[in-house]
A and B are shown apart, each in its own frame.
Chain A
Amino acid sequence: MASDRPVREAENRLERFNSDREKLLSEVERRVVARRITEAKTGGDASLEYVLNDVAYSEIKRLEKSKNGAADRWRDLSRRLLTMSEEEKQGELRSLVRYYGGDVVGNFDPRVYKFATGIGPSLLGVLFNPLGSLKEGMAALRNLDNRIHADGEIDIAHACAERGTIVVTPTHSSNMDSPAIGFGLMQAGLPPATYGAGKNLFSNPFISFFMRNLGAYRVDRRLRFELYKDVLKEYSTVLLEHGYHSLFFPGGTRCRSNLVEKHLKLGLLGTTVTAYKNLVREGRANKRLYIVPATINYRLVLEAETLIDDYLAETGKNRYIITDDEFSRVGRMFEFLRKIVAHEGSVIVRFGRPFDPFGNDVTDEGESIDRAGRIVDPASFVRGAEGEVSDDDQRDAEYTRALGRRLSQVYPKLTVFHSTNLLARVLYDAVARQTGTRDIYRLLRATPQQLAVDIPGAIAGVDRLRKRLVERPEWGSEHPHFTEQSSGDKLEDAVKGLSTYHTRPIVERGGDTLHVKDIKLVYYYQNRTAHIPVEGAS
């Protein structure tokens, strides 16, 4: 249920971002440069010559094919390195850190925020519902709040946002996740959060405009050298220390399979431990950080076709950045948005109970508690035997992995199943029974007869699946708006969604039979339920 509390009550710290911008950048520069100079004293891979050469080499490799001489600067640096004094190297290091910091740093325009959270959605509602009548458009506007729905542990997230800084950690299945979670936060009355978005996403002019002005900072995944990663991590750390609510997708890239994420890459999530450790060192241990798990659950996923193709082909795996998927086609994205607007509760964002950076649960008041329910001082996790704050990167990485394990444990429970997920699961189970295999690669060769499922049986299957979900809330739950809906209506709704949005129908009705036309996408949509054992096996 959306919060009754207006957005303004949850302090929008991003409003002061632009005045802080230079201060933040300078702090990043100071820390990275100081650390690199200190480390350089040990020589070897840590020497400034090696660090700068790593940058130059990587940039030359990236830019050597461009015809505008973009690589010349780096070739020049590479040549000069051999004759540079230590002071000159330090100057070059400082200049590079500032350069990459400037590339990363975000922006926040209160006017855009006001637009996006105020009249923006309404205007979008009209723009994206061109096929409907004016009357329907106005109705859509009035019901817009129902399109993206936020629920879950919102009150405690509020308490945490007021007491400290929250880090929202949602599942990631679509490039629409950033706007979806943004609206979800707004619906929940939670403050906006800054986040790192892949630079490739800025290629979509519409989304780019909002991302640039709503606090998103740019992450260039092509830059793989250590200095860039260092700048990025430090920027995130400094933002957290300065109290900027943040958003990380701990799964890393979009989940190709649509499974509820289990193996998390964590990425910048590790900066929460570092930031809190720095706060403890500065005597601000009470300035707490809270990790708020969330799931983003779509009735239809914009890039489903590309993602599942990518998953099945196993092309490029996580290193592959899809640059020409549905997200980069503006028309396709508008169609997706139109579908969202046209269907009640198309996207549901569910927030879970927050953790501290070490994976401990927190009380309603934001105090950390251990697994046995005892209050524990989070600052003690970064202290040594005598209470001193100790630096230990391996320890901090392990804490982050422990946090990741907690997140992956709660994601299934926070998962919300749309009619599309439920029907896809029932269809997949039925086809698997008919063919004797659940192996998608074998099912791709199934005959049309094997892919036909009778509708009464499918309705009964949906019914049983819904009952199992009620009995096992740890598996997730069905959409809260539609718990009273009959299983027949649920099936109708799912067929409507699955047969009209994607480039070709996933299922088609023929008399009393549903014909699966695209088993790959049935597999994709049912994967959201894959943690639920097959009937009779649980």
Chain B
Amino acid sequence: MTKRADTVGIIGAGSFGTALGSVLARAGRRVILWSRDPAVSDAINKTRTCPRLPNAPLPAPLEATADPRRVASEARFLVMAVSSRDVVERAKELGGFLDGSHIVVHAIGAFVTARDKSRAATDRDTGAKTNERVSEVLEQGLPTLKIGAIAGPALPADLAAGEFSSVVVASRFDEVVSEARRLLNAPPILRVYSSKDLAGVELASALSGAYTVALGLCDGLDMGAGPRAVLITRVVAEAGRLIAAAGAEAKTFAGLAGLGNMLVRGGKRIGSEDYQLGRRLAEGVITADSERTEGARAALAGVILADRLRVRMPVLSGVAAVLAGRAEPRDTAKLIGDTVAIEE
């Protein structure tokens, strides 16, 4: 194998992109990290640390650049690790340097809203006007069709600390999956599983953020282990319904991208942004703040999708109602179960 085929380009020097780059570089892979900010790429190259993840040492095979042309020419395999708000613009910047041979997998567990696409300010409550999956947006913005998604309980802090993590990679193209497994698999720290259910993995990943807010609400209301278990199992059921209605596989939510993601981000010890948002809403520290996290945005987008597909989603609707200020957090307990007894 030659250098280009063995090089991983990472788009975005945020905490996940940097941690992933660090793991891969430690496993001997050549990694090029693209940051739009030259100060960040300079800092990485000079100090071997990233401002967004200062505790992660960055080994030598990892280089940073602010030049998208360079990352596109030196790596065929790219991981897009940017916020869902930035994905459209990054794809636009990068797209001019890619061609049909590139492989792009994204690590964005969110929907892309109309506002993300237009960058035009709209009403906060109805910001989630559309809910395109990230791969759909990338197909529109990049010249390559070889697009995939990675998702799972791989937290930047765990990756940086060398804890065991796993992700699933999904794509319509077998080549994308096999290349992702070849280049990203770095056991025992990072194991990469495969799936053909691209839509399912993306939906599960996005919805898991929304349900992490629900877990935060549950814990913030101090509801105990029983209701928490009911919440999690009902979430698996309703998310599966939505994913199946969208033409993907219901069981995908029960895997790394959905349940795995939700459990790790909704753990009391980890306390992701989505989880903390739920807790603070429950505790009355803040009021409705629908735009604060990816999970909150996913909840609002998810209910629109559910409405369009006519899928009953009591938990997701409840979270969205709280986020939109239409329901009190203490009422969320009523939203956990179904209002009528149905077969599980």
Interface digits, A307-329 against B, CB 8 Å rule (1 contact, 0 not)? 00000000000000000000000
Q: How far is the CA of A359 from the CA of B139 in the complex (A)?
A: 11
A sample of 27 inter-chain contacts (CB < 8 A) reads A358-B145, A360-B143, A370-B143, A371-B139, A372-B95, A374-B95, A374-B96, A376-B100, A376-B143, A379-B100, A380-B99, A380-B143, A381-B100, A381-B144, A381-B145, A382-B100, A383-B101, A384-B5, A385-B2, A385-B76, A386-B5, A392-B175, A394-B174, A395-B146, A395-B174, A395-B175, A402-B145
* Distance between Cα atoms of A376 and B173 in the complex (Å): 20
Residues 3-40 of A, flagged 1 when their CB comes within 8 A of B and 0 if not, give: 00000000000000000000000000000000000000
CA distance A379 to B101 in the complex (A): 9
In the complex, which residues 359-392 of chain A have their Cβ closer than 8 Å to any Cβ of chain B? 359-360, 370-372, 374, 376-387, 392
B181 contacts A by Cβ under 8 Å = no
Q: How far is the CA of A353 from the CA of B92 in the complex (A)?
A: 24
B173 CB contact (under 8 Å) in A360, A378, A398? A398
Please give the distance in Å from B165's CB to the nearest CB on chain A: 26
| A398 to B140 alpha-carbon distance, docked (Å) | 17
A377: chain B residues within 8 A (beta carbon): 99-100
In whole angstroms, what is the CA distance A401 to B139 when docked?
A: 14
| CB neighbours of A380 from chain B (8 A) | 99-101, 143
Task: Check: A202 CB closer than 8 A to any chain B CB.
Answer: no
Size band of the interface chain A makes with B: 20 to 34
Is B61 part of the binding interface, using a Cβ–Cβ cutoff of 8 Å? no
**Which chain B residue lies CB-closest to A405?**
B139
Q: Whole-angstrom distance between the alpha carbons of A387 and B76 in the complex?
A: 10
- Which of A372, A378, A386 lies in contact with B100, CB distance below 8 A? A378
Q: Does B142 contact A (CB under 8 A)?
A: yes
Total of A-B residue pairs, C-beta within 8 Å: 65
Residues of A within 8 A of B326 (CB): none
Which 3 pairs show the lowest CB-CB distances between chains A and B?
Answer: A381-B100, A385-B5, A380-B99
The smallest beta-carbon distance between B104 and chain A, in angstroms, is: 13
Interface string of B136-155 (1 = CB under 8 A from A): 00011111111000000000
| Interface hits, B89-104 → A, CB 8 Å | 92, 95-96, 99-101
Inside 8 A of B96's CB, which chain A residues have their CB?
374
B172 at the interface (CB under 8 A from A): yes
When chains A and B are docked, how far (Å) is the Cα of A385 from the Cα of B92? 22
The yes or no answer to A399 lying at the interface (CB within 8 A) is: yes
Q: Which residues of B sit under 8 angstroms from A394, Cβ to Cβ?
A: 173-175
Residues in B153-185 with C-beta less than 8 Å from chain A = 172-175
Q: How far is the CB of B65 from chain A (nearest CB, A)?
A: 19
Check B334 for interface membership: any CB of A closer than 8 A: no
CB contacts (< 8 Å) of A401 on chain B: these are 172
Kindly identify, within residues 215 to 255 of chain A, every residue whose CB is under 8 Å from any CB belonging to chain B. Answer: none
Question: Does A386 contact B142, Cβ atoms closer than 8 Å?
Answer: no
* CB of B18, distance to nearest CB on chain A (Å): 24
B119 within 8 A of A: no
By beta carbon, the residue of chain A nearest B95 is A372
- Give complex CA distance A392, B175 in Å: 8
The reply to whether B101 and A385 contact each other, CB–CB distance below 8 Å, is yes
B46 at the interface (CB under 8 A from A): no
Contact A370:B142 (CB < 8 A) given known A376-B99, A394-B175, A395-B175:
yes
Q: In whole Å, how far is B76's beta carbon from the nearest beta carbon of chain A?
A: 4
Tell me the minimal C-beta distance from B179 to chain A in angstroms: 9
Given contacts A372-B92, A376-B143, A384-B76, 12 further A-B contacts (CB under 8 A): A358-B100, A359-B145, A372-B141, A372-B143, A380-B101, A381-B100, A384-B5, A385-B4, A386-B5, A395-B146, A395-B175, A402-B145
Q: Which residues of A contact B142 (CB under 8 A)?
A: 370, 372
CA distance A377 to B143 in the complex (A): 9
| Interface residues, chain A, with chain B CB atoms under 8 Å away | 358-360, 370-372, 374, 376-387, 392, 394-395, 398-399, 401-402
Q: Is the interface of B mostly helix, strand, loop or mixed?
A: loop
The residue on A at minimum CB distance from B174 is A394
Distance of A473 from chain B, by nearest CB (Å): 21
> Which partner residue on chain B sits nearest A384 by CB separation?
B101
- A368 CB, min distance to chain B CBs, angstroms: 9
Decide if B145 touches A386 in the complex (CB within 8 Å): no
CA distance A69 to B257 in the complex (A): 60
Asked if residues A386 and B4 are in contact (CB atoms below 8 Å), the reply is: yes
Bound together, the chains give a CA A385 to CA B2 distance in angstroms of 9
Which residues of A have CB within 8 Å of B146? Answer: 395
In the complex, the chain A residue whose C-beta lies closest to that of B138 is: A371
Q: A386-B5, A392-B175, A394-B175 are in contact. Are A374 and B101 (CB under 8 A)?
A: no
- In the complex, A99→B178 CA distance in Å? 40
Q: Which B residues between 1 and 17 are near A, CB-CB below 8 angstroms?
A: 2, 4-5
Residues of B within 8 A of A385 (CB): 2, 4-5, 76, 101
Please determine whether B5 and A398 come into contact, CB atoms closer than 8 angstroms: no
User: Which residue on B lies nearest to A376, using beta carbons?
Assistant: B143
Q: Which of B2, B141, B173 contacts A371 (CB 8 A)?
A: B141
Min CB gap B148→A, angstroms: 12
Q: In the complex, what distance in Å separates the CA atom of A376 from the CA atom of B2? A: 24
Nearest residue (CB) in B for A381 is B100
**Distance in angstroms between the alpha carbons of A387 and B99 in the assembled complex:** 11
Nearest CB of B to A536, in Å: 18
Distance between Cα atoms of A372 and B141 in the complex (Å) = 6
Inter-chain CA distance A200–B175, complex, in Å, is 39
Tell me the minimal C-beta distance from B198 to chain A in angstroms.
11
0/1 interface trace, chain B 79-118, chain A, CB 8 Å (1 if under): 0000000000000100110011100000000000000000
Are A398 and B145 in touch, CB under 8 angstroms? Answer: yes
Q: Is the CB of B101 within 8 A of A371?
A: no
User: What residues of chain B lie closer than 8 Å to A387, measured between beta carbons?
Assistant: 101
State the CA gap A370–B97 with chains docked (Å).
Answer: 12
Interface centre among A371, A401, A402 (most CB of B within 10 A): A371
Q: Give complex CA distance A395, B177 in Å.
A: 11
Give complex CA distance A385, B101 in Å.
Answer: 7
Q: How far is the CB of A396 from chain B (nearest CB, A)?
A: 10
In the complex, residue of chain A having the shortest beta-carbon distance to the beta carbon of B77: A385
Bound Cα distance A395, B148 (Å): 13
Taking the closest CB of chain A, its distance from the CB of B68, in whole angstroms, is: 13
Q: How far is the CA of A370 from the CA of B144 in the complex (A)?
A: 8
Cβ contacts under 8 Å, A376 to chain B: 99-100, 143
Complex CA distance for A399 and B145, rounded to whole angstroms: 8
Question: What residues on B are CB-neighbors of A398 within 8 Å?
Answer: 145, 172-173
B246 shortest CB reach to chain A, Å: 16
Task: Compute how far the CA of A377 lies from the CA of B100 in the bound complex, rounded to whole angstroms.
Answer: 7
Tell me how far the C-beta of A242 lies from the nearest C-beta in chain B, rounded to whole angstroms: 24
Residues of chain A lying within 8 A (CB to CB) of residue B140: 371-372
Chain A residues with CB under 8 A of B143: 360, 370, 372, 374, 376, 380
Chain A min CB distance to B147 (Å): 11
Q: What are the residues of chain B within 8 A of A372 when measuring CB–CB?
A: 92, 95, 140-143
Q: Give the complex CA separation of A402 and B136 in angstroms.
A: 12
Contacts of A382 in B (CB 8 A): 100
Which residue from chain A places its CB closest to the CB of B141 in the assembled complex? A372
Residues from chain A with a CB closer than 8 A to the CB of B99 are 376-377, 380-381
Interface string of B51-80 (1 = CB under 8 A from A): 000000000000000000000000010000
Residues of B within 8 Å of A383, CB to CB, are 100-101
Min Cβ gap A401→B in Å is 8
Contact digits for B319-339, partner A, Cβ 8 Å, 1 yes 0 no: 000000000000000000000
A378–B100 Cα gap in the complex (Å)?
7
A358 to B142, CA, bound (A): 13
Q: Chain B's nearest CB lies how many Å from the CB of A82?
A: 37
In the complex, what's the smallest C-beta–C-beta distance from A407 to chain B, in angstroms?
Answer: 15
| Residue from B2, B5, B95, B173 in contact with A395 in the complex, judged by beta carbons closer than 8 Å | B173
Per-residue interface assignment for chain B, residues 247 to 273, with 1 indicating a CB less than 8 Å from any chain A CB and 0 otherwise: 000000000000000000000000000
Q: Which A residues are in CB contact (< 8 Å) with B175?
A: 392, 394-395
Contacts of A374 on B, CB cut-off 8 Å? 95-96, 143
Per the bound structure, the CA–CA distance linking A371 and B99 in Å amounts to: 12
Q: CA–CA, A480 to B338, complex, Å?
A: 54
CB distance from B210 to the nearest CB of A (A): 28
